[in-house]
Each structure stands twice: as structure tokens, then as C-alpha cells.
Amino acid sequence: MIPLPISTDRALVLFTDLDGTLIDYHTYDTRESEGALRRLVDRSVPLVFCSSKTFTEQSDLQGQLGMRQPFIFENGSAVAIPDGFFPKKMYTAARREGGYDVVVFAHADAVSLGTALEQIGGLKGYKYASDAELSAATGLSGDALLRARERWFTETLLSPLNGERFFEVENLLQAMGYSLSRGGRFFTVQSAQVNKGKAVLWMMELFRQSHAQGVVFAAIGDSPNDVPMLEVVDIPFLVQRPDHSWAALEIPHMISIDAIGPSGFDTAVKLLLGK
């Protein structure tokens, strides 16, 4: 286990989930985590978003926070790298979008995934939900609702999946090359061969190539779909859910933070950097 706090002579990279971690689970507010964000900037620690949120949601959030960092979107389906962050010879971009190079890991796009979900039937995702239904389920409205709908590789389900129905849907999706991952509130359907951990490992290699000395990697999450991300870093943190419980995750050396969401994010950064 790497001792905390991390000494100032060591390079550090932090990956983080968003909903229920960096931002408030209900209000999507970032005020409780903004002090931690300033400390990361002062220490020159890259903060890499790693979320089921879309490209447009994450790029918009970066703009609100005055950030320009790589991020992993739609549960590891792709990564976005801002111009000039890494040498372009280090990766092959599938497209460019809003000043970011997009590297794609998913085997299929949202159109193909939608066709698969229609074959299963009885499932409602963001795509076919009305604005009123989606707003009621997520608390989003206006432009934020549009950004949440703009999914390129995945679909988030509003339909409850309990008991045998979960296993039925999971088996049908697996036969078609897709998987289910459980976030804080919803299930996300995605290409079976992608997850947060694989995208994080890919990004970690770019950071290693960019630093002459060894890099320490940490990550902060709150839910089961964060497990692949938390498993591959040196220092994994788990923050509490809104009911003060922790997701039942079994990860070696994981540090459970006794604080909810953004407050837990702030505590984890204090542990990493020192108070």
C-alpha cells in the first residue's frame, strides 16, 4: 500500500466518477468538491472524469469548472483527449469533436444497440422516454436533458430490472455482445468488451509514457460500475451513498470514506495531498 499523503516529488493522476462522487447525487452541484478541485490544480494533478455520462455532458462540465483534461465517457466506451495534452503519435483518434480527439473502444454505436434492445422488448431507455419522464427520473431539464440524451455508444435504462428479469435481460444482451452495468441509480447497456477499468488502464499507459518517473494512480467512485476502475489503480477510494451506506464492493486496499458524494471526494483529496 502506498503511504498517504503522496509526497510532492511524485507524479499523481486521479480518476473520478461523477454522479454521487464529484457532483451531488440529487442536485448535480459541485460546490462541496470545488475546494478539492483547486488543491488538485495547485498540485498539478490531472483529474480524469470516468463516468457513464455523455461526451457533451462531460465537456460541458469541464467548461463550467474551467478544466481541460482527458475524460472517459459512456462507461469506458471511448475517451476524449484535449488538443495538445498528449502527443498525437501516442494514440489513434476515430474522430474530432469540440477540440478533443475521440478514441473509441466500443464495438457498436447507439443505433446498433437500440436495435438490440428493441429485439428484447419491454425496456425503456433515455432514447424513447419523453422529456417529462426523463426529467422526473433524473432531475434534469432543458439543455442538460438534451446532453444526457446524446449517447453515442450506450443506453441508460429507466425500466426497473429486478429478480429474474435482470438475469433474463442480461443473458439476452450477452448473446448479442452487450453487457449491463449498475450505476448509482440506473443500469447502462454497453459493448461487452468495454468498461471503466479497461479505459483507465489505456489512459494510465499514456500518462506513464509521458513521465520519466513512476506515476501514482488513484480513483474515487461510489457504485458497482466503478469496480473495474477502482480495481486497476494504486489507491482506490469509495465514498458513501446518500443514505450513508457504501456500495458492497470487495476491492483489496480500498479506502472507504466516511462522507457522502462530493464531501467524500473532498476528504479523499485531502488524504491524497495532505491537509
The dihedral region occupied by 17, where left means phi > 0, alpha psi between -120 and 50, and beta the remainder, is: beta
What torsion do the CA atoms of 17, 236, 211, 50 make, to the nearest 10 degrees?
A: -10
Alpha-helical regions (H) of 29-106: 34-42, 55-65
Alpha-helical regions (H) of 95-226: 110-120, 131-138, 142-149, 164-175, 196-210
Tell me the longest C-alpha to C-alpha distance in the chain. Answer: 55
Say how many C-beta atoms besides its own lie within 10 A of residue 163's C-beta: 8
Contacts of 209 (CB under 8 A, 6+ apart): 90
What DSSP character marks residue 153?
A: S
Q: Which residues carry out catalysis?
A: 17
Angle at 65 between CA 48 and CA 35, to 5 degrees: 85
Distance CA 72, CA 270 (A): 24
* Parallel, antiparallel or unpaired: strands 215-221 and 235-240: parallel
